[in-house]
Structure 1
Amino acid sequence: MENTSTLYYQFLPTDGKKINVNPDKTALLIVDMQHQFISRDGLDAQVAREKGMFDQWEYFFNRIDNLTIPNNKKLLDFFRTNKLEVTFGRIACHHKDGRDRSPVQRRPGWNNILLPIGDPGAEMVDELKPLDDEIVVNKTTDSVLSGTNYEFLLRNMGIETVVCTGVVTDQCVASTVRSLADAGFEVILVEDACAAATQQLHDAEIMIMNQIYCQVMSTDEVIDLVTEELSKTKLVNV
């Protein structure tokens, strides 16, 4: 039987044309870059060590330390320096017993996440700590949009394009990208500022989402694109 699993990807545009962005209507969204999930001393890493499984996560934490955090920091510094909108989405429930969580975050196993607001594990890692007036959306779902007022906030600010980064590529990041696209936003997914448990999972999700739900770009490509647009109207700070 002919394998048609990727047949419709043959019809994606191949002209290499970049997405058009208006910097004043563009927001950076950093998803779930929290101590619990991405710190080597976070709870997830501790549990993996206790179960003798940490070696299986070495790829993930190496990518986080050597690529994902540095590129998020690079984007964050660029957006802040040029006074562009910076936002964060994080997993954090209101009740300490987690009864306000969505079913997907209550299920046993990987998604059994209990992170109340105020728990140190719910905070963004120090390199990516939000400033006082930057928007931080607390979510009990995978998508930053589902069950939050994030879309409403973006509409209030006149945002049309969202530059999305974070973890993990094939779960919360992917859900957020799809929700943003369905809501009518242009989405740029920054490939080297995201991470999944394995390279295979990351690459597969990137392939699925690219050109359909978003445009996949690198950190440097995003900075170059926004810099080009900024240079048309005002001075650029890199």
Structure 2
Amino acid sequence: MNNNNALLIIDMQQEDGFVLEHFDSTVNNIAALLDTARQQRVPVIYTRHINQADGSDMPRGEPRAADGGPSSYRAGTRQVEILERLAPRADELIVDKGRYSAFHRTDLDARLKALRVETLIVSGVLTDVCVLSSVLDAFALGYHVRLVSDACTTTTLAGHYSSLLIMANWVYALEILTCAQCLHALCDRAYVSLAPQQPDQFAHQPHELENTIARLHSHLVRTQE
């Protein structure tokens, strides 16, 4: 088993409360990562965002339904289950969480250390919420992170790329790469990625945001050549 890497699939659940950009292609890319990780015997770990049905574990301000329970990701409903296309096998770990980060009040870090994982391959949703917070915590805990840019998504492309820019600016133990290049990496083949070389490498002022996103996107497209 390749214990240096683990594939983390964040919150790819039935919950459909948000319309997500390029969701079908994101699912396809995660499925490709999943198939290759299994072939290469790389550990696969899923997270599920779940709130208790009575709302007792919800953070302040979290949206609630009329009965006071969570308006989404409610325990005991079909919506919290993993998408059938990406269904976990019996021997694959599922980590349930009640907050954005996969590490907050979970045993994920202990599980990864038990597997001697050093590099965490990150995919899933939402780029600007659970993916972002999980990557920041993984960095703080000492992991090398490979973030698969087209195996993540959120409600807007602006939110997606803005989050990639934040991580590229400040997560020093980070590689951002496409699914195609990550598949090369999983198979120990030559690959290319965007690895931050300095703090605030993609610094920009508000009026420059669109051009900076285009610069990041252009770099990621070039990595597919």
Q: Distance in 1 between matches of 2:151 and 2:124?
A: 6
Q: Distance in 2 between matches of 1:23 and 1:208?
A: 30
How does the TM-score come out when normalised to structure 1?
A: 0.71
Q: Distance in 2 between matches of 1:211 and 1:162?
A: 19
Q: Distance in 1 between matches of 2:115 and 2:71?
A: 31
- For the 8 Å contact 1:115–1:121, the answer to whether it is kept is yes
1:48-63 alignment, distance < 5 Å: 57=19, 60=20, 63=22
Q: Distance in 2 between matches of 1:166 and 1:144?
A: 11
1:154-173 alignment, distance < 5 Å: 154-173=112-131
Question: Which structure shows the higher helix fraction?
Answer: 1
Read off the aligned partner of 2:100 and give its amino acid letter. Answer: D
Give 3-state SS (helix, strand or coil) of 1:189's partner. strand
Q: Which residue matches 2:49?
A: 91
Give 3-state SS (helix, strand or coil) of 1:228's partner. coil
Q: Distance in 1 between matches of 2:60 and 2:155?
A: 22
Higher relative contact order (CA 8 A, sep 6+): 1
Give 3-state SS (helix, strand or coil) of 1:24's partner. coil
CA distance change for structure 1 residues 217 and 113 in 2, over 3 Å: closer, same or farther? farther
- For the 8 Å contact 1:72–1:165, the answer to whether it is kept is yes
Read off the aligned partner of 1:221 and give its amino acid letter. Answer: Q
Is 1:208 equivalent to 2:166 in the alignment? yes
Is 1:64 equivalent to 2:43 in the alignment? no
How does the TM-score come out when normalised to structure 2?
A: 0.75
Question: Given the alignment, which residue of 176, 183, 186 partners 2:141?
Answer: 183
CA RMSD in angstroms comes to 2.2
Q: Which residue matches 2:180?
A: 220
| Deviation at residue 116 of structure 1 after TM alignment | 3.8
Q: Which runs of 5+ in 1 are unaligned?
A: 1-21, 37-41, 46-56, 231-238
1:1-238 alignment, distance < 5 Å: 23-36=2-15, 42=16, 44=17, 57=19, 60=20, 63-65=22-24, 67-93=25-51, 95-103=52-60, 106-107=62-63, 113-210=71-168, 212-213=170-171, 214-228=174-188
Runs of 4+ in structure 1 deviating by more than 6 angstroms, as ranges, are none
Question: What do the CA deviations read for 1:73-98 (whole angstroms, capped 9, x no partner)?
Answer: 000000011111000011013x3212
Read off the aligned partner of 1:32 and give its amino acid letter. Answer: D
- For the 8 Å contact 2:40–2:187, the answer to whether it is kept is no
Read off the aligned partner of 2:23 and give its amino acid letter. Answer: I
Identity of aligned residues (%): 28
Q: Distance in 2 between matches of 1:229 and 1:137?
A: 30
